[in-house]
Amino acid sequence: MAVITNDEINAIRNKANIVDIIGSYLPLTQRGKNYVCVCPFHDDHSPSMSVSEEKQIYKCFACGNTGNVFTFVENYEGVNFIDAVAIVAEKAGIDIDKRKLKTNRVLINKDELEMMDIAEKYFQNNLKTEFGTTAMDYLNGRGINEDIIKEFGIGLSLDNGDSLYNLLLKKKYDSKKILEVGLVNDSNGKYYDMFTRRITFPLWDKDGNIVGFSARIYRGEVDTSKYINSRETKLFKKGETLYNYHHAREFVKNEKSVIVVEGFMDAIRLSVEGVRNVVALQGTALTKEQIVLLKKLHVKVILCLDNDNAGEAATLSNGDMLIKEGLEVYVIRLSGEKDPDEYILVHGINAFKENLKNPFTFFDFKMYYLKKNKDLSKSNDLALYINQVLEEVANTGDEILIEVTLNNISKEYNLAMDVLRGKLRGLQKDNKKEVKVVEKKIKEKKDAYLLSADKIIYFMLNGGAYINEYQKKLGFFEDALHREIANEIIYYYQRNNAINPADFISYVSDKETIKDEVMNIVSNGIDDDVSIEIMDGYIARVDELMVKNEIKRLKIELKNETDASKKIEILERITELKKSD
Ligand SMILES: [Zn+2]
């Protein structure tokens, strides 16, 4: 399989001026040597985004969104890196071979992903045979028509235990690999299909590659689980994806929101009815990876989980996590039926849309939740309730919300405003203390060493002269992250004989461990002047701090060392370091 090379990606980036590309989406105004615009990635009221033509990088000074021309298109269009490359190429009038555009993940897992595609087609075809009649009746009975079956890749696994396995063998796939992707099970060395007599639903990763299946019974069977899912494989990791994410991405932008439901049937039902900005958790609790995916959408999140206690509790904990990550969160609680799928089947899509028009704010949902299961005519419960409300409202730091809430409580429970205000002030003081501690920690972390190390990395991205200077005068960093980035820069430069921040961003786009830090470093350097003299200043600082740390480390080692000759060795090393200091 041909791949688009780094050189080709760089050539595209080189030909596509970031000012023209961003300017094709948003009006830009020139200010000094940079351009500014209203940031499309947060609720911006003044032009917070700066675009550097010289460096071919953009940065929002309010929300921190940053990157090169591909990053912008990725975020703005809601597509992955490779699709962003294709869009930029087209806008810049560059012809590229579309077949070359595959992500690294696809290239590495070529056979595995092909097998999943074959399985999907095989299952889909089964539905159309004489064996598929009952399953088709079942699907049609639930309002799932041909178009939806096609769009969501719904299919059927057959009764005979190894038909898919044999098909894959015939196509020359290795039996071990078939087992590894979870399409078959191993029973004492004999392989048989993982899914039998079930309606199958493909599960995709964030880019739309099939990585697993979920399969449900349809003939009213008892004594068996309603759904079975692919086991964890190198392709499928539970909780790493959101069902329907790759479909929903293109719709969330228009709707300015994403609806989060529990089950994939809920997501399919809503899509069937034309509400397409929907993703499913495939469970109740949001995972770290899923939060990252939701953050990438840059829209408000509407939680619409099941109508049971678990769904309600998950709404609370998921909402709390999302708020902490700075997302805007709303809540819909449907009543009567157990989940959105059933609700829409019984009450129709318009009833759902009414709910969608007026979702609770997460704060209001929380207030409702705090009241639940408390008997507010009892003074104990009432006091607990009011204290909890005050704590929550103090956490928001929203002056107007605080005022409205205090007024409401005061009226509803006949409490003096002074008392409430006094209590609130106490809570706010505690919060401020906490914030200060956190801020101090952040500052300590970003100490002089890290700040200077960031700058050195930034200079290295500006050309071979700076890379040489680093190799000549410093050579390494004491922390693993900067060391890894520096090594990647050197490697990149050796291969390409040229380097600049914008191209290096493309290069690290699939290197998860260092990508964020590189973005940060580049965005903090957007207005920096670069010269060897300034760089030498940072190198001297880092060198001095690393020597100090090394001496500290050796002194501890010395204390713990019992062997006399080794003690002398350590002492000599310390004296040597002190001389150079
Ligand atoms: Zn912004």
Query: pTM, whole model, 2 decimals?
Result: 0.72
Lowest mean pLDDT: which of 342-351, 411-420, 532-541? 411-420
Q: Is 80 exceeded by the pLDDT of residue 275?
A: yes
In the chain, % of residues over pLDDT 90: 51
CB proximity list for 224: less than 8 A, separation 6 or greater: 217
Of residues 418 and 279, the one with the higher pLDDT is: 279
In this prediction, residue 430 carries a pLDDT of: 73
pLDDT tens digits, one per residue of 465-488: 999 999 999 988 988 899 999 999
Q: Ligand 1 mean position to 49 CA, how many Å?
A: 6
Residue 314 pLDDT grade (very low, low, confident, very high; cuts 50, 70, 90): very high
C-alpha to C-alpha distance for 562 and 573, rounded to whole angstroms: 17
Residue 1 pLDDT grade (very low, low, confident, very high; cuts 50, 70, 90): very low
Q: Ligand 1 mean position to 79 CA, how many Å?
A: 18
Q: Ligand 1 mean position to 271 CA, how many Å?
A: 30
Q: Ligand 1 mean position to 69 CA, how many Å?
A: 15
Q: Ligand 1 mean position to 336 CA, how many Å?
A: 40
C-alpha to C-alpha distance for 509 and 518, rounded to whole angstroms: 10
Q: Ligand 1 mean position to 74 CA, how many Å?
A: 15
Residue 194 pLDDT grade (very low, low, confident, very high; cuts 50, 70, 90): very high
Q: Ligand 1 mean position to 573 CA, how many Å?
A: 50
In this prediction, residue 77 carries a pLDDT of: 82
Q: Is 80 exceeded by the pLDDT of residue 118?
A: yes
Q: Ligand 1 mean position to 220 CA, how many Å?
A: 52
Per-residue pLDDT, averaged over 498-502, amounts to: 93
Per-residue pLDDT, averaged over 66-77, amounts to: 90
In this prediction, residue 99 carries a pLDDT of: 65
**Phi and psi for 206 in degrees, rounded to 5?**
-65, -20
In this prediction, residue 442 carries a pLDDT of: 60
Region of 136 please: left (phi>0), alpha (psi -120 to 50) or beta.
Answer: alpha
Q: Ligand 1 mean position to 29 CA, how many Å?
A: 16
Q: Is 573 exposed, middle or buried (0-12, 13-18, 19+ CB in 10 A)?
A: middle
Per-residue pLDDT, averaged over 273-300, amounts to: 91
In this prediction, residue 3 carries a pLDDT of: 63
Burial 84-99 (b: 16+ CB within 10 A, else e): bbbbbbebbeeebeee
C-alpha to C-alpha distance for 334 and 203, rounded to whole angstroms: 26
Q: Ligand 1 mean position to 525 CA, how many Å?
A: 17
Q: Ligand 1 mean position to 41 CA, how many Å?
A: 5
End-to-end CA distance of the chain: 54
Lowest mean pLDDT: which of 123-137, 151-165, 177-191, 565-579? 565-579
Q: Ligand 1 mean position to 37 CA, how many Å?
A: 10
Q: Ligand 1 mean position to 436 CA, how many Å?
A: 25
In this prediction, residue 6 carries a pLDDT of: 80
Q: Ligand 1 mean position to 60 CA, how many Å?
A: 5
pLDDT tens digits, one per residue of 142-189: 889 898 999 999 999 998 788 999 999 999 999 999 999 999 999 888
Q: Ligand 1 mean position to 112 CA, how many Å?
A: 39
Q: Ligand 1 mean position to 300 CA, how many Å?
A: 14
Half-sphere exposure of 490 (CA within 13 A, CB side): 15
Q: Is 70 exceeded by the pLDDT of residue 440?
A: no
Q: Ligand 1 mean position to 437 CA, how many Å?
A: 26
Q: Ligand 1 mean position to 73 CA, how many Å?
A: 14
Q: Ligand 1 mean position to 513 CA, how many Å?
A: 24
Q: Ligand 1 mean position to 51 CA, how many Å?
A: 12
In this prediction, residue 122 carries a pLDDT of: 96
Strands annotated E in 124-277: 155-157, 184-187, 190-193, 198-204, 210-216, 227-229, 257-261
Q: Is 60 exceeded by the pLDDT of residue 260?
A: yes
Per-residue pLDDT, averaged over 431-456, amounts to: 74
In this prediction, residue 207 carries a pLDDT of: 82
Query: How many beta carbons lie within 10 A of that of residue 427, not counting itself?
Result: 16
Residue 43 pLDDT grade (very low, low, confident, very high; cuts 50, 70, 90): confident
Q: Is 80 exceeded by the pLDDT of residue 134?
A: yes
Per-residue pLDDT, averaged over 187-204, amounts to: 93
In this prediction, residue 332 carries a pLDDT of: 96
| Number of residues that make up the chain | 581
Q: Ligand 1 mean position to 94 CA, how many Å?
A: 29
Lowest mean pLDDT: which of 48-52, 101-105, 458-462? 101-105
Per-residue pLDDT, averaged over 411-440, amounts to: 79
Per-residue pLDDT, averaged over 384-412, amounts to: 87
Q: Ligand 1 mean position to 191 CA, how many Å?
A: 53
Q: Is 70 exceeded by the pLDDT of residue 220?
A: yes
Q: Ligand 1 mean position to 68 CA, how many Å?
A: 15
Q: Is 60 exceeded by the pLDDT of residue 445?
A: no
Q: Ligand 1 mean position to 50 CA, how many Å?
A: 10
Token code pair at residue 321: 């996590």
Q: Ligand 1 mean position to 65 CA, how many Å?
A: 6
Q: Is 60 exceeded by the pLDDT of residue 2?
A: no
In this prediction, residue 266 carries a pLDDT of: 96
Q: Ligand 1 mean position to 47 CA, how many Å?
A: 9
Sheet arrangement for strand 66-67: 29-31, 34-37, 49-52, 57-60, 66-67
Report how far Cα 217 is from the mean position of its chain's Cα atoms: 32
Q: Ligand 1 mean position to 464 CA, how many Å?
A: 32
Per-residue pLDDT, averaged over 213-235, amounts to: 89
Q: Is 90 exceeded by the pLDDT of residue 394?
A: no
In this prediction, residue 23 carries a pLDDT of: 93
Q: Ligand 1 mean position to 72 CA, how many Å?
A: 11
Of residues 511 and 470, the one with the higher pLDDT is: 470
Q: Ligand 1 mean position to 43 CA, how many Å?
A: 7
Q: Ligand 1 mean position to 552 CA, how many Å?
A: 42
Q: Ligand 1 mean position to 486 CA, how many Å?
A: 29
Residue 100 pLDDT grade (very low, low, confident, very high; cuts 50, 70, 90): low
Residue 460 pLDDT grade (very low, low, confident, very high; cuts 50, 70, 90): very high
Q: Ligand 1 mean position to 445 CA, how many Å?
A: 25
Of residues 434 and 315, the one with the higher pLDDT is: 315
Q: Ligand 1 mean position to 520 CA, how many Å?
A: 14
Residue 439 pLDDT grade (very low, low, confident, very high; cuts 50, 70, 90): low
Q: Ligand 1 mean position to 40 CA, how many Å?
A: 6
